[in-house]
Amino acid sequence: MSDVADAPEAARPITSRRDPRYEVVMYRHVGVDGAWKLDYYRSHGGYEAATKALTQMSPSQVIDEVKASKLRGRGGAGFPTGLKWSFMPPVDGRQRLLVVNADESEPGSFKDRYIMEDDPHQLIEGMIIGCYAIQATKAMIYIRGEYVKGYQRLVGAVREAREAGILGKNVLGTEVEVDITVHRGAGAYICGEETALMNSLEGLRGNPRLKPPFPAQAGVYGLPTTINNVTTMTSVVHIITRGAHWFSSMGTEDSKGTKLYQISGPVERPGVYELPMGASFRELIYDLAGGPKGGEAKGFFPGGSSTPPLPWTDEYLDMAMDYGSLAKAGSMLGTGGVIVIPKEKDIVDAMYNVVRFYAHESCGKCTPCREGISTWLPKMYQKLLAGLGTREDLDLMEEMVRNSRGTAFCPLADACAMPVQASFKWFRDEYEFIVDNGRPMYTKNDWWEA
Amino acid sequence: MKVTVNDVSMDFPQGTSVIDAIFAAGYDVPYFCSQEYMSPIGACRMCLARIGAPRKDREGNWILDEESGEPKIFYFPNMMATCTTQVMEGMVVDTLSEDVKNIQGGMVEFTLINHPLDCPVCDKGGACELQDRAYEYGTGLSRFDFDKRHQEKHHPLSELITLDRERCIHCKRCVRYFEEVPGDSVLDFIERGGHTYIGTLDDGLPSNFTGNITDICPVGALLDTTSRFRGRNWEYQHTRSTGMDDASGSAIMIDGRTGRIERIKAALHPDVNKTWIDDGTRFGHEYVNAEDRVRSPLIRRDGALTPVTWEEAAAFIRDRLSGLSGKDIGIALRADATLEEGIAARALADALGTGQLDHAPRPAASVIPQQSPATLTDLATADAIFVVGDVTEEVPIADLRIKDALKGVTPPAMMQHGVPIADLRLKEHPVLQREKLTVAAPYRVDLMKHAGRAMQYPAGGEAALFQALQAVAEADDAEGGLRLDEAQRAGLGSSVEDATALVQRLRAADNAVLVYGGFVLASREAAAAAAGFAKAVGAKVMIIGPMANSYGLELAGVGPSHARYAYPDMLEGARALILSNLDPAQDPDVRTQLEQKDFLVVHDLFITETAQLADVVLPAKSVFEKDGTTVNLEGRFLGVHAAPIEGGESEDFVGLVGALGEALGQRLEGRSVRSARRVLRKRFEIDPAELGPTGQLYRPKGRTTAKVTIRSSEAVDGNVLVTPSMLRIEYLHRNPHLNALSGGPRLRMGPADAALNNVADGDAVRLRVGGVVRRATVCVDDKVPPGLMLLPTLPEQPIGLARADLSTLVRDERELEVAG
Amino acid sequence: MVELDTIPAYFADKQEVLDEILGRYPEYGRRSAVMPLLWEVQNAERYVSEARIAEIAEILGMHPTEVKGVMSFYSEYHGEPVGKYHLQVCSTLSCSLAGSDQLYDYLVEKLGIVNGETDAEGRFSIQRVECLGSCGTGPVLQVNDVYYERVSRTRCDQLIEALKHGDMPDAWRERGGDNESAEKADFLMSAASGRASTGEGEG
């Protein structure tokens, strides 16, 4: 068996945008004026994948194809999509639902928004294929309330699709029935958690639910439900078009396909970049985004504020942006939304901002999150930043986040606690400085451009 | 499934929660959000424990530990909330290790950081779950040295309940209670995160069952306003008894201090009321402490009532009665008298040679089902229920048991520690199986909104209703309804399709229950039709008697020897009367009659209108001060226990008979509770002294023959419908909190009738209904059928249609408060 | 309790709108309509009053308390009127690193209102919100429904001036990274990799 390194060029997995075999597929139309219209989409190969799936494949074949592609959910959890689809129970006469999680509220994440604004039909096409695969006739998009433009574009696209017979009782002229309802959220990060999303969709307060039962057993309205992220759906379009093999030819052992990465914080060219999985942070941050402004950064969140930050070292910059590598590094890929922490931003200040986010977004259901994350932890940061902290306070904070990890009802507490723990691990010197000196180590406090 | 908790291994059925396994094994974990009869939600995170279980491989064999050869225990990566985790075969639970203790201490610390240090002024102190858990599981000194969250304190949610938002620990019991138990979601969390607080937009919390949240709130956030600042929990003497407010037989806990009753709480009775009581039972105790209670026997001398001893009073009565023969003397008790009081009254009547003995109010028909009696458990597990009347007012607990049936969850099996703490079959936001329930009433009642079918029939039309339904049942096919004639259809108050569906549903059910009360009992014809219909469709029957011991007093035969001696007819013929807790002088014509009696003895708590005419007034014990036995609407014998309340020289009717017996020189049965119980034991083969907390269902082998003469009933062409009421109208003005909440008795009428009678919403009025002068506040409600007015019942004004002379409807200038 | 009779019901003359919203959900999921109904009212009236809460509750067969419980859970529903221009300043990390904290302080000073307040004329209100999902183009300011991205000092003054004149500009939608049109993406690729781009099928 020949070594992978000796394998012919064509057989090696694609893990870099520099690889000539790679092409941007999901964001092809983003940024193009008028790309959200049905005419445009159709004239660029739109709905051909759905037609292929509905006329040439059976639902289980679609699931198999997606399984073979090894697509993992793009919402942050990275659960294998084909496997999730196969959890739906056998058809038993009850209504089945596909729900698209377009609540994108993770700080550092902004990839879904451009799809919904500029290329809503791509999402709709993915949903048609998904509904067909899980044999659901109804789908709902839960879009965060702030994305008004995205909501309007989606509603318009759904209307166009209905009028053109792409949605409704005979999708694309087949016997398949699919229709889509777009449901606006109203400003709650926790509603991006799938069980809280279901409660919110049902018109309840957005508290997470117990699992089991899982959504496939009892989801929205107690019906069999599958919940997927926006770009999981759009990935499916291209998997059907070009095949599972094409998709799995990109990426690493445990992370396949093309993915939308984001980068924000002070870099030259922040934004969304589509890359094959396995590309390195360095490629994203330096090659594509032009590197940190002013040249110096000290750390970065690899995949949104819920992922433990990492220091700015070659070890981590050269790491592949995939699920396994980040897990091994004690962090997570999450949504792939990199946030660069410039050298001049005091880490205590930066982490206070992050903690305050979770404090605002805590749903209040369970004790450790409501009292710990949402009340006590931000106050401890305020104490440090006011110059009144002590070394004992640092120990107390570490104990507090330890008590919040794994004890809360849902992972929101972990999403706050783990980054805080990592900040202590990699930047403890800044915490010690602020308590020992009564002022932060880095004092730049004006980031606003003229 | 075998589960090992620390060092104890036990077997549990599938579906048991781990927290129940822990408690059954004799260990414990702290918890706040779980409550025995509500959904487990895993919110407070206090009950966390380290849990592991063995796993099977692909072939179905246990994966073995290499060293021990035993199934390997795979521990869950995180601590698990035991209230929301099911037991698994071979599960191992650790609640004692350092890790678990540390987390428990951490959770206590988190729970306390925003909790105000109110213990010295908080009514919950000493009975507070947070205090107890903090003491048992906490780490001691808090390390939180910031300002705590500030919220509104002592916010009146209603006249009855005070909310302190700062004390709330967000267990969500109150919110879930309202949604899951009475099904009225009148409380909810407002905002989110650390800012969350409890609030409402439903002013005054419109529900008959709000008080239960003060029992289940683990801290002093939700408090009973009637007992606010009345005592510290460790000062109260707790007496478990049976509520005598209605026929439910709900278990209550009477909290008394320094001889006063300060608070009523619910007590546990898994088969009757679970842990719930209605607001009338809970908050309607203030009258017992009223300033103007009669505290000693009184004899009228020179026109004025003068205090005397019991001996003097008894001798006086004996003397005045000695000249009279039996047929001149009448004795009547209120229908919430105990069985022992009933036995005593019978003994007295026999001794005096009179057959004019009765209890009141007593409807025209028997309150004892003649076949297939239903228990509350039958009701709670029924798959088809037909209610005629307003059960939410008449016997509120039945409303909650009906909702149990609509949730489709059977009562839990008892465990070693009692009722399971976390019943995993219960879910948040339950969807009620409304199709199981049909409600029929002469006006729109609350329960209709939870029913699959509502039938509003014309007032007084109960007989017609059942006769029409009987016709449908007898036709025995889908066409049945179509054979009804015009008059029968009109009697249904609903479509023929509905009636047919109802009949089919009752027939097809495994466990169908028919519930009816005062409206049906007002007419013998209606009651007979109802019983016949129940038989035709194979339904069990639950009959709601007007008061707490209606069933028992009828069963014990406390009734007249002849129909014409029934109450209130006896008031006309008798020359001497002994009346216990009855106030017929509210009817001016009766008042005139009474003024002409030779001798009138009134046994009561207060100087009522009737007592004002009496020759002798004897101080009565309230229902909280008696030892006795009552029988609820299931036919369950239940113990009534006296709380240590300072009632002066008051006695119940047993005491009265004891004193009178002494004066007569006779050893009467029923001269004491003990001797009365000998009679009961012999007659019913139940020992009232050994009833225990759950009581005993009386189910004789033969048929229960009603020994009580059924009163005559004439159809009344009425314009006022006297309706059931959760609140005891006779005491309402002496229960200031309930009075303020309800605004006093309401005379409800439609807008057209208000205009016709020249009254407006909110007017205080007087009206003579069926002879009795009633005071009420007008309430204009367009849901009341035109030409009808609704008025709540009094003992002297039984449920059913009555005739009111509307020319007597006048504005009442006086305040509706008690005078004197 | 609010007297529904004295205030004309919002949906009294909007049956079609109501039907369309209710029609989006199955009958057993009727309660789902609570959020779109709240939006409908808020979009028209700038807040949702207790009377409207009661009306929505009545329509859906819910208690007013439940509607309030849902409404108050979210950051975007308001129980008090907001200004004609409701300024929502994103405050989370990426925008903070682009100066959103300074932007907020500037607005507070310039307009004389703080988080949660409306000015006396009812023209401006301000709210600090969390991540708006445009992290590459911070600082982001959402005015009513519109995103204004990369609101630098200069552009902030421009925007406020325009709003003061009652003129709400179109969204300032920045492009960045792969959000650029094909032409610009071309430049990126070649700059990054040093290879000539084909100019086809990318962007």
Q: What CATH number should be reported for the domain holding residue A418? A: 1.20.1440.230
Which residue ranges in chain A fall short of pLDDT 50?
Answer: 1-4
Six-digit token pair at B318? 């004996």
Q: Is A185 on the interface with C (CB under 8 A)?
A: yes
CB contact under 8 A, B191 and C62: no
Query: pLDDT at residue B478 above 80?
Result: no
What is the value of ipTM here, to two decimals? 0.94
Domain boundary among C73, C102, C134: C73
Per-residue burial over B436-470, b = 16 or more CB atoms within 10 Å of its CB, e = otherwise: bbbbbbbbbbbbbebbbbbbbbebbbbbbbbbbbb
CB contact under 8 A, B201 and C63: yes
**Residue B141 or A382, more confident:** A382
Please tell me which residue of chain B has the smallest CA distance to C51: B201
Beta bridge partners of A258: A276
Helix (H) or strand (E) holding B423: none
B110: chain A residues, CB-CB within 8 Å: 367-368, 371-372, 376, 403
DSSP C106-123: HHHHHHS--TT-B-TTSS
Q: How far is C44 from chain A (nearest CA, A)?
A: 15
Residue C110 covered by a domain: yes
Which residues in chain A (66-95) have CB-CB distances under 8 A to chain C?
A: 95
Q: Which of B191, B192, B202 sits opposite C65 (nearest CB)?
A: B202
Q: DSSP assignment, residue A406?
A: T
CB contact under 8 A, C65 and B185: yes
Which phi-psi region, left, alpha or beta, contains residue A204 (left: φ > 0; alpha: ψ -120 to 50)? beta
Q: What digits encode the pLDDT tens for the residues B16-34?
A: 999 999 999 999 999 999 9
Residue listed under structure tokens 């006063």: B260
Q: Return the pLDDT at C201.
A: 30
Find out whether B632 and B248 touch, Cβ atoms under 8 Å.
yes
Nearest-Å Rg of the Cα atoms of chain A is: 22
Find out whether B255 and B235 touch, Cβ atoms under 8 Å.
no
Q: Are residues C62 and C96 in the same domain?
A: no
Beta bridge partners of B5: B8, B93
Share of chain B above pLDDT 90, in %: 89
When divided into structural domains, chain A yields a total of: 3
Q: Are residues A337 and A415 in the same domain?
A: no
B472 pLDDT band, cuts 50/70/90, is confident
Look up the CATH number of the domain holding residue C153: 3.40.30.10
User: What angle in degrees, to the nearest 10, is found between the helix axes of A111-118 and A148-163?
Assistant: 40
Residue C33 covered by a domain: yes
Query: pLDDT at residue B701 above 90?
Result: no
CB contact under 8 A, B191 and C1: no
For chain B, the average pLDDT equals 94
Show the domain range for A189.
Answer: 14-248
Q: Are residues A275 and A394 in the same domain?
A: no
Domain boundary among A248, A268, A290: A248
Q: Are residues C99 and C136 in the same domain?
A: yes
SS3 state at A148: helix
CB contact under 8 A, A350 and C171: no
CB contact under 8 A, A407 and B79: yes
B476 pLDDT band, cuts 50/70/90, is low
Residue A316 covered by a domain: yes
Q: What is the spatial distance between Cα B349 and Cα B331, in angstroms, rounded to a whole number?
A: 7
Residue A129 covered by a domain: yes
Q: Are residues C55 and C106 in the same domain?
A: no
Amino acid at C125: S
Q: How far is B194 from chain A (nearest CA, A)?
A: 5
Cβ of B65: how many Cβ atoms within 10 Å? Answer: 12
CB contact under 8 A, B194 and A204: no
Q: What is the spatial distance between Cα C154 and Cα B191, in angstroms, rounded to a whole number?
A: 36
Q: Are residues A352 and A376 in the same domain?
A: yes
Q: Are residues A323 and A231 in the same domain?
A: no
Domain boundary among C73, C105, C132: C73
β-pairing, B260-266 vs B251-257, is antiparallel
Which residues in chain A (388-427) have CB-CB distances under 8 A to chain B?
A: 396, 399, 403, 406-409
CB pairs under 8 A between A and B: 94
Look up the CATH number of the domain holding residue A255: 3.10.20.600
B108: chain A residues, CB-CB within 8 Å: none
How far is C-alpha B652 from the chain's CA centre?
Answer: 22
Q: Are residues A330 and A218 in the same domain?
A: no
When divided into structural domains, chain C yields a total of: 2
Please tell me which residue of chain A has the smallest CA distance to B172: A365
B146: chain A residues, CB-CB within 8 Å: 376, 379, 383
Q: How far is A28 from chain C (nearest CA, A)?
A: 5
Q: Return the pLDDT at C203.
A: 28
Q: Return the pLDDT at B365.
A: 94
Residue C12 covered by a domain: yes
Average pLDDT for residues B482-503, to the nearest whole number?
81
CB contact under 8 A, C72 and B190: yes
Q: What digits encode the pLDDT tens for the residues B179-203?
A: 999 999 999 999 999 999 999 999 8
Q: Return the pLDDT at C182.
A: 44
Q: What digits encode the pLDDT tens for the residues B192-249?
A: 999 999 999 998 999 999 999 999 999 999 999 999 999 999 999 999 999 999 999 9
Residue C194 covered by a domain: no
Q: Which of A220, A339, A450 sits opposite C152 (nearest CB)?
A: A450
DSSP C136-186: GG-S-EEETTEEE-S--HHHHHHHHHHHHTT--PPPB----BTTS-HHHHH
B450 pLDDT band, cuts 50/70/90, is very high
CB contact under 8 A, B78 and A407: yes
Q: Are residues A141 and A267 in the same domain?
A: no
Give B468's contacts (C-beta < 8 A, 6+ positions apart).
B484, B488, B489, B491, B492, B499
Beta bridge partners of A263: A271, A338
Residue listed under structure tokens 């007002």: B522
CB contact under 8 A, B170 and A372: no
Q: Is A210 on the interface with B (CB under 8 A)?
A: yes
Q: DSSP assignment, residue A169?
A: S
Return phi, psi of residue A310, to 5°.
-120, 155
Q: How far is B188 from chain C (nearest CA, A)?
A: 6
Q: Is B197 on the interface with C (CB under 8 A)?
A: no
Residue A449 covered by a domain: no
Please tell me which residue of chain C has the smallest CA distance to A282: C192
Show the domain range for C31.
Answer: 2-73
In sign, the C-alpha dihedral spanning A329, A330, A333, A335 is: negative
Residue A322 covered by a domain: yes
C185: chain A residues, CB-CB within 8 Å: 24, 31
Q: Is B49 on the interface with A (CB under 8 A)?
A: no
Q: Are residues C67 and C94 in the same domain?
A: no
Six-digit token pair at B102? 């540390």
Domain boundary among C49, C73, C97: C73
Q: Are residues C62 and C90 in the same domain?
A: no
pTM: 0.95
Return phi, psi of residue C119, to 5°.
-75, 170
Q: Return the pLDDT at C164.
A: 96
Q: Are residues A338 and A351 in the same domain?
A: no
A222: chain B residues, CB-CB within 8 Å: 431
Please tell me which residue of chain B has the smallest CA distance to A206: B192
Which phi-psi region, left, alpha or beta, contains residue B389 (left: φ > 0; alpha: ψ -120 to 50)? left
CB contact under 8 A, B189 and C69: yes
Residue A5 covered by a domain: no
Q: How far is C125 from chain A (nearest CA, A)?
A: 17
Q: Are residues C121 and C62 in the same domain?
A: no
Q: Are residues A313 and A382 in the same domain?
A: no
In sign, the C-alpha dihedral spanning A314, A319, A321, A324 is: negative
Q: What is the spatial distance between Cα B9 and Cα B76, in angstroms, rounded to a whole number?
A: 19
**Residue B392 or B573, more confident:** B392
Q: What is the spatial distance between Cα C159 and Cα B551, in angstroms, rounded to a whole number?
A: 79
Residue C126 covered by a domain: yes
Residue C91 covered by a domain: yes
Residue C136 covered by a domain: yes
Residue A3 covered by a domain: no
Q: What digits encode the pLDDT tens for the residues B574-626?
A: 999 999 999 999 999 999 999 999 999 999 999 999 999 999 999 999 999 99
Burial class (CB within 10 angstroms; exposed 0-12, middle 13-18, buried 19+) of A384: buried
Q: Which of C96, C133, C136 sits opposite A104 (nearest CB)?
A: C133
Give the closest residue to A270 by CA, choosing from C194, C134, C151: C134
Helix (H) or strand (E) holding B767: strand B764-769
Q: Return the pLDDT at A5.
A: 55
CB contact under 8 A, B192 and C50: no
Residue C171 covered by a domain: no
How far is C-alpha A261 from the chain's CA centre?
Answer: 9
Q: Are residues A240 and A334 in the same domain?
A: no
In sign, the C-alpha dihedral spanning A26, A27, A28, A29 is: positive
CB contact under 8 A, B191 and C72: yes
β-pairing, B222-224 vs B197-199, is unpaired
Q: Are residues A110 and A80 in the same domain?
A: yes
Which residue ranges in chain C fall short of pLDDT 50?
Answer: 1-4, 181-203
Please tell me which residue of chain B has the smallest CA distance to C1: B203
Q: Return the pLDDT at B484.
A: 76
Q: Are residues A56 and A191 in the same domain?
A: yes
Give the closest residue to B84 by CA, choosing from B113, B116, B49, B124: B49
Domain boundary among A284, A316, A342: A342
Domain boundary among A222, A248, A274: A248
Amino acid at B584: P
Cβ of B274: how many Cβ atoms within 10 Å? Answer: 24
Residue listed under structure tokens 């007013």: C64
Look up the CATH number of the domain holding residue A76: 3.40.50.11540
Q: Are residues A77 and A158 in the same domain?
A: yes
Contacting chains of A (3 CB pairs or more, <8 Å) are B, C
Q: Are residues C63 and C89 in the same domain?
A: no
Look up the CATH number of the domain holding residue C58: 1.10.10.1590
Q: What is the spatial distance between Cα B192 and Cα A330, in angstroms, rounded to a whole number?
A: 31
Give B325's contacts (C-beta < 8 A, 6+ positions apart).
B353
CB contact under 8 A, B201 and C64: yes
Residue A424 covered by a domain: yes
Six-digit token pair at A335? 């949504």
Q: How far is A1 from chain C (nearest CA, A)?
A: 33
Give start and end residues of each alpha helix (H) in B2-127.
18-24, 98-113
CB contact under 8 A, B201 and C72: no
Q: What is the spatial distance between Cα A393 and Cα A111, in angstroms, rounded to a whole number?
A: 38
Residue A223 covered by a domain: yes
Q: Return the pLDDT at B486.
A: 80
